[in-house]
Amino acid sequence: MEEKMFTSGGMERLQAMSDRQNVPYPRGDGKVKLVTADWLADHINDTDLRIVDVQPDVHDYIQEHIPGAVYLTEGILRVSNRGFPTSYSPTGCIQESFRRAGIEADSPVVVYTGKGAFSGRGEGLGQTMMAYSLAKYGHNMVYILDGGIDHWKSAGGELSQEFPDVEPSSFTAEPREEYAIRYDEFRRIKDNDDVVVLDARPAKVYEGQGPWRMRGHIPGAISLPWRSLMDDGNPALLKPNADLDIMLEEHGVDRTRTVICTCGTGREATNEFVLLKWLYLYPNVRLYEGSFTEWSAYPDNPVVEGPEPRAARAEAALPR
């Protein structure tokens, strides 16, 4: 397939398609990689491997989990700060949580979630949220189980109700601030020609049906719902690379530009950040952790309703 059939970066994504057959994927020294159920079955007894279960309810974990997995709820990651509801928890609290889970910064950690067998809840985002947060706070070898526990079960993987004997680790949290983009910088650069802003929320929320006091989306943001990137039957399983390639091309997600991933609270956007930064190796990817919740907290910020990213941009940007 020739390069001229693609926007810039097409051949790199073709290489990613080929590399995905080799796990952990992709090759190289990226902080986050993808592994399969077969790979985990082959390595489940590795002495340095830690498996982290982030199913949506602790009762899901109690009822069934992958052998050796320790439960670590993603709820430890964020807490209200000065009234803002989705701030990251203090670094010391996150560090202690990772230590209690026996996580070492330079030993592989496999993260998975799924639709809870007890609660019936779970949409797959827990594993990208936890993977991003592990890397953000200094972990160097995070593996996401493609398809989560549901794919593990469909592949015949063993389940357990045993709780592992875990010794606390000496994990030291060292935040990598370069992953995130803060409000002031986001506001300053978001409309630059060399920047593309993605909105990972469902299309109906992007268009104006969300719960925020201001409805719609950030002017200029392109709607790319995170769920559209995932298997129809399993929201923790990425679609084949060929399908992902087409969607990225159609949305103009060009690796020559800075890509800023946004959503409602910074959680859905971790799915696209992980995909673009670590699996497709885009050189300039940022995550706006405050996302629409922070943007809409400023009453003077413009918003756009409807399906078009820029239809009302000029009008919305006018002084009021």
pLDDT digit string, tens, across residues 233-253:
999 999 999 999 999 999 999
pLDDT exceeds cutoff 50 at 318: no
Is 93 catalytic? The answer is no
Does residue 250 sit in the same domain as residue 165? no
Render pLDDT for 286-303 as a digit per residue (tens, 0 to 9): 999 999 999 999 999 999
- Assess whether pLDDT exceeds 80 at residue 312: no
Note the pLDDT of residue 17: 66
My answer on whether 46 and 171 are in the same domain is: yes
Are residues 154 and 241 both part of a single domain?
no
Identify whether residues 215 and 82 lie together within a single domain.
no
Please give the structure tokens belonging to residue 291. 């996302």
Torsion (CA) 183, 133, 72, 290 in degrees, nearest 10: 10
CB 76 within 8 A of CB 90: no
Does residue 276 belong to any structural domain of this protein? Answer: yes
Are 171 and 227 in a shared domain? no
Q: Which of 263, 274, 281, 303 is catalytic?
A: 263
String of b and e for 107-129 (b: at least 16 CB within 10 Å)? bbbbbbbbbbbeeeebebbbbbb
Q: Is residue 7 part of a domain?
A: no
Residue 27's pLDDT band, with cuts at 50, 70 and 90, is confident
Q: Is residue 21 part of a domain?
A: no
The one-letter amino acid at 254: D
Q: Are residues 211 and 154 in the same domain?
A: no
Closest by CA position to 144, among listed 165, 161, 130: 130
Tell me how many domains the chain contains. Answer: 2
Angle, helices 241-250/10-19, rounded to nearest 10 degrees: 160
Identify the domain containing residue 216 by its residue range.
Answer: 180-316
Is residue 226 located within the same domain as residue 165?
A: no
Rounded Cα distance, 260 and 277, in Å = 11
- Residue 47 and residue 273: Cα distance in Å, rounded? 30
Alpha-carbon separation of residue 57 from 114, 115, 119, 306 (angstroms):
10, 10, 7, 35
CATH number at residue 112: 3.40.250.10
Q: Read off the pLDDT of residues 210-221 as tens digits, 9 standing for 90 and up.
A: 999 999 999 999
